[in-house]
Structure 1
Amino acid sequence: MQTRRVSTKGSCAAPDGDDDDVNLGDYRQCDLFVDGVEEPVAIGSVYNLGPLVHHQKLPDGVSRISVVQVLKADAVVPIPTFEVRLVGQAVGHFLMWPTRLVSDSGPQVAAPSKKPEPPLDPIEQLWDISAGLRNCTIPVPWEESVFGLASEFPVYIARPDLCEVLTGNQMLNISVIQCWELFLHRLCIERGVDHTYGFLEPSLIQLRGNNKEGIQAYIQNWMHASDKTVYLAPFHRDLHWQLLVICPKDNIAACFCSLHGSPGADYMKILDGALIGYHLLRGKGTKKRLEWVFPKSYRQNGSFECGYFVMKTMLTIVQSGIVDRWTTDKSVNNGRRGCCSTGKAGEDAIVGVGELVDTAVNNGFAVDGPKLTKLGLRLNCPVCSFI
């Protein structure tokens, strides 16, 4: 297989040029003759590159050629140009040559097709999105069916948020966790288990910025209204993420913590009150206190792994369809071990955040301060289905 490239600079384009290379397409090898000489004067290549050469229309009965090897340097070319009069001057130039004086001497050679670039992996896609954000933020709205409230204030994802996920050595902020819950909600719908798993909005259940009565009211009212079997509640306190798994119908709560801690006696009391209110709303009052279980995992090594631990544990629960046996289920234990031993989110976590962020990007808007502006960034992302 042979291919030739040509510089497109100047009126006389030169084969094998070094500047602005373009592929010449199909060509065939030939012997070149001139009138009055029986032997070929040069070996060349005939190209099919369209109707123009030297900005002139290629006449009928004339071929576009380039000289590859000179056999008779002092022979006059049939159609001279300003730069080329003798065959010895023809190497490196396109020339017009009478077709009757061109004799095929080899098979036609097809130029190799350009190899498609391999698709970006999920991490590369997220780096691409991050590079395009600069000082902008992407609003990621949610439906009321996710957290029990409309997204008057959507999740805002900024460049530092994506860098936290990508570098794998920083504490994840609440925007990343919120975005992850949105991804898991969509995953539940796709798997047909959205009637089983529900989610609590982390900024509404944390102690900072909320009063205890408001937290309790949100939890009991949303669980009663949505009527799910299992609720996943990422809980942030004292610069640390935990995952609270609440099964209101069974009156059980599990605390998954990469430091083997608890949410605190004061917060456990809030959830006790929320479950009492939940049962009263259902018309089934209970005097039974909420039962807590504390599954043990591999402890995190540093100070930042807890966010990844929570993300991975939630994903494992949804993917494995776990609704009980929180202290014994091997799927949950394996998921916790994998996340805490590496301290990094798995590829699934990258894909999930990337899908939601790329969706928002492809919808075309970013926020720069209070003003909505077009971001002008689109990706052909194989993992993104929100177009």
Structure 2
Amino acid sequence: METEFVKNYLGTVAGFNRNVRLLLLRTIMMGLYTGIHGLIFNFYILEMGYKADFLGLLISISLLASSTMSIPAGVLCDRFDRRKLLVISSVLAMLATLPVFLLRDPSVMLLFSAAGGMFGSISAVCLTPILSDNCKRDGTVHVFSANASLGWIASVIGCALGGLLPGLMIAHLPLGGSGYQLTLIASVALLGLSCLFALLLKKGNKCAGPAPKAKAKSRFRFSLKDLRPSPTVLKFTLTSVTFGVASGMIVPYFNVYFMKVLHMDVVQIGLTSAAAGAFMLVGFIITPYATSKIGKVRSAVVTKLISAPFVVAMAFTKDFMIAAGAYVVYMFLINMAGPATTSFQMEQIKKHEQGFAIGLMSTGSCLAVSASSFVSGLLISRGNYTVPFILTCAGYVATAVLLYHYFKDVEPLPLLRPVARVAAD
């Protein structure tokens, strides 16, 4: 059975059309860049002589700009050609990134960080509908799981490159200067390649937003009705908010918890993170199999519910082996639900409002994560780790209950579909 599943999975992936393959290559380039940037950008800013408060301001201004732009980005995505928007926003995001690495004036760095966040938000919002448009209905889970797994693998490789390249830059390039800066500047080439892959996407209805006639009528007209979400979008937004609250409570502080409470050293934390990453990859691969048996929404519900006890286990144990094992299983389950949820959302949301829906869900999730991270930080600063874990567990359970309540009757159980057809006949 396992061999047949793997063959079927690989066969489905190999059958992705040209546009999907190009988008996956773009995801790989973005993952490599994200891994490099995520590892050494903080070191670069501190090396320049700035303090942690300015680093936090740079990061927060980019996130705030991205969150603020999510809903307008969704409206643009629904009203104009998504392929063109993806290309233009990706190029502008790349151009906005370079000054942050080249210039030292804090005001200029903040300005271009905000611009990069805004343009990056547009490309991020456009990506999911374009992926959905370019795959068959029964292949969406495979596409989104492949996109998630390839992005994660690329980011891990990017982290490794980020650790190696600064030293190599200084040793072998007679340019002088900071190895961190040279590495960040060189990594922009990855953004350039991602823009190239987006540019190579084939034109046509599969990559477009609304139909040409509808687009021509409304291109220059805007109404507040365009910002009126459907009941389905509101339901998904609510589940995004509850999930964001859960994630923001403890996910940003796992390393702190391991080190301060369980007294794990850096090596133990690194090994635990590596094991969790390996199981995450397995989860992405298993997701299509699970959805074929119990459906997308039930897969998302079940994995979120099962992950909750492992969050509780981390909250109350003082044994780092138990905590590490619970963390690995938790990461496996909670990330396994991602592709199934995204695929189900794209199937249920109408084509003409997918961009707006993603923008609204993204904004709700970002605001929830920001608020819960702030509250959790206050609690943790007082030594209270238990409450954030409990609230995380409650958030996951609430998300699962809402998903099941709203959508349990929308998607028939796959195992019962043949029986339903016989009855219909």
- Name the TM-score class by shorter chain: under 0.3
TM-score (norm 1): 0.22
Larger Rg: 1
Instruction: Determine which structure has greater relative contact order: mean sequence separation of CA pairs < 8 Å that are 6+ residues apart, divided by chain length.
Output: 2
TM-score (norm 2): 0.21
Question: Which one has a larger percent strand, Structure 1 or Structure 2?
Answer: 1
Question: Which one has a larger percent helix, Structure 1 or Structure 2?
Answer: 2
